[in-house]
Amino acid sequence: MLSVEEAIAAILEDVAPLGAERAALGDLVGRVTAEDVIALMTQPPFAASAMDGYAVRFSDMKVGAVLTVIGEAPAGAPFGGNINAGEAVRIFTGGAVPAGADHVIIQEDVEREGAQITINEDQPKPRNIRAAGIDFREGDLLAEKAAPLHEIHGALFAAANIASVSVHRRPKVAVFSNGDELKEPGSTLKPGEIINSNHYALCAMTRNWGAEAVYLGCAADSEDDIRSYFKRGADADIIIPVGGASVGDYDYVKSAFAKEGGEVRFSKVAVRPGKPTWCGRVGDASVIGLPGNPASAIVTAALFVQPLVRRLAGEIWSAPFLKARLTAPLSANGGREAYLRAQEQDGAIAPVANQDSSLLLPFGAANALLRRKINAPALKPGDEVEFVRLR
């Protein structure tokens, strides 16, 4: 059985980021740049007023001095001329500061009568002018290659006069569930049936990591039906069958996969929950088979699907392990690396009470997975542990 680390290495073997495409500024969140993004222009492009008032020469700023207003510089319509001693130009926030001016006196500090202003307040130093390029300059690096893009990047690139950027294609993830006992929410259940729930978490999680997720539906416990779902997922970059991964008489997923020409890379991982997690390739798609138990499916998606999605999407990523102090004792761990659903706050962490792999409710409170290495010893409150954030 592979360790967690070996399984991740096997999943990422031969995996390269997907090809590049141009993305519009409204579609950048969760994308990863395929090349450096360089500013096409300086921002602000000119020295601009930060306030509504008058552009002046600071050397004229003496209380009681009277200046002549020789023109106007609203945002978007610069005053073409030069300001000389004793002169002022009416200016508004965002207006280009005319040549010769080195200060903007706010309108509250002057009294205006016709074309004259009188300085009413002492001006301790030149201010209220934003120099050209204080944000960035043409040619500056705005985001380097392989940078994950967030909500603000669209505005940043727009301000630099960039209309679209080169990003990696989003990996297409096709999820299907499997099991005759599974019915859709809203159904009236017969004895022995439960609601099909896992794919809601799995699709949402993979989208957060940068994927375009599609849910194909729920296959019956039959090899032929499961094979038809592998066929329907054939154009995806990653196929995620959920359930039917274990050794039961009705666990047909791996045999259906083999009949579709799939090649298994590994079929078990020394991890708890999630031992039946398996991986392979069919056609051009990577396949990560997840166990059907909800907590097992969610934890193994975070551990094994996440690095693959992020890698295909262009990110250079590995699980960021953080440290926290236990607020409850932990018993010794066994022969599988364990990931306990846990609550972490301000560096203090405690596992949720019930770690059964069928439970969804603990994820309501849990925001972390507490890592227990193989055969880790018992720990007491105050001891340090490693965790990864779930949210």
When asked if residue 333 is in the footprint of ligand MOO (CB under 6 A), the reply is no
- Give the binding range for ligand LQZAQKY5 (CB under 6 A) out of 73-81, 95-103, 135-143, 240-248: 240-248
When asked if residue 362 is in the footprint of ligand MOO (CB under 6 A), the reply is no
3-state helix/strand/coil string of 97-116: CCECCCEEEEHHHEEEECCE
> Which among 161, 151, 131, 133 is positioned nearest to 37, based on CA atoms?
161
Rounded least distance, CB 29 to ligand MOO, Å: 32
Closer to ligand MOO at the Cβ: 206 or 277? 277
CB-based contact 145:33 (threshold 8 Å) = yes
Strands 285-289 and 238-242, by their bridges, are parallel
CB-based contact 357:245 (threshold 8 Å) = no
Closer to ligand MOO at the Cβ: 41 or 359? 359
Beta bridge partners of 172: 212
CB-based contact 44:134 (threshold 8 Å) = yes
> Which among 70, 47, 199, 216 is positioned nearest to 128, based on CA atoms?
47
List 102, 180, 251, 386, residue binding ligand LQZAQKY5 (CB under 6 A): 251
Residue 163, CA distances (Å) to 35, 42, 221 in order: 15, 15, 49
When asked if residue 245 is in the footprint of ligand LQZAQKY5 (CB under 6 A), the reply is yes
Rounded least distance, CB 218 to ligand LQZAQKY5, Å: 7
When asked if residue 243 is in the footprint of ligand LQZAQKY5 (CB under 6 A), the reply is yes
Residue 158's contacts (CB-CB under 8 Å, 6 or more residues apart) are 25
When asked if residue 273 is in the footprint of ligand MOO (CB under 6 A), the reply is yes
CB-based contact 170:210 (threshold 8 Å) = yes
**Distance from C-alpha of 181 to C-alpha of 192, rounded to nearest angstrom:** 7
**Residue whose beta carbon is closest to ligand LQZAQKY5:** 292
CB-based contact 246:297 (threshold 8 Å) = no
Closer to ligand LQZAQKY5 at the Cβ: 292 or 362? 292
When asked if residue 293 is in the footprint of ligand MOO (CB under 6 A), the reply is yes
Work out the angle at residue 384's Cα, subtended by the Cα atoms of residues 383 and 387, and round it to the nearest 5 degrees: 135
Token pair recorded at residue 269: 């991982």
CB-based contact 94:45 (threshold 8 Å) = no
242, amino acid identity: V
Rounded least distance, CB 167 to ligand LQZAQKY5, Å: 32
When asked if residue 280 is in the footprint of ligand LQZAQKY5 (CB under 6 A), the reply is no
- Give the binding range for ligand LQZAQKY5 (CB under 6 A) out of 9-17, 136-144, 228-236, 273-281: 273-281
List 272, 310, 341, 372, residue binding ligand MOO (CB under 6 A): 272
List 53, 210, 244, 307, residue binding ligand LQZAQKY5 (CB under 6 A): 244
When asked if residue 296 is in the footprint of ligand MOO (CB under 6 A), the reply is yes
When asked if residue 292 is in the footprint of ligand LQZAQKY5 (CB under 6 A), the reply is yes
When asked if residue 183 is in the footprint of ligand LQZAQKY5 (CB under 6 A), the reply is no
Total residues contacting ligand MOO by CB under 6 A comes to 8
- Give the binding range for ligand MOO (CB under 6 A) out of 119-127, 233-241, 268-276, 322-330: 268-276
Instruction: Look at the alpha carbons of 350, 356, 361, 367 in this order and tell me if their dihedral is positive or negative.
Output: positive
* 3-state SS assignment for residue 250: coil
CA-based radius of gyration for the chain: 31
> x/- binding map, residues 116-155, to ligand LQZAQKY5, per CB under 6 A?
----------------------------------------
List 27, 181, 212, 386, residue binding ligand LQZAQKY5 (CB under 6 A): 181
Rounded least distance, CB 330 to ligand LQZAQKY5, Å: 20
Token pair recorded at residue 279: 């991986």
Rounded least distance, CB 293 to ligand MOO, Å: 5
When asked if residue 206 is in the footprint of ligand LQZAQKY5 (CB under 6 A), the reply is no
**Distance from C-alpha of 389 to C-alpha of 280, rounded to nearest angstrom:** 27
Residues that bind ligand LQZAQKY5 (CB under 6 A): 177, 179, 181-182, 194, 196-198, 242-248, 251, 273, 275-276, 291-294, 296, 357
Residues that bind ligand MOO (CB under 6 A): 272-275, 291, 293, 296, 357
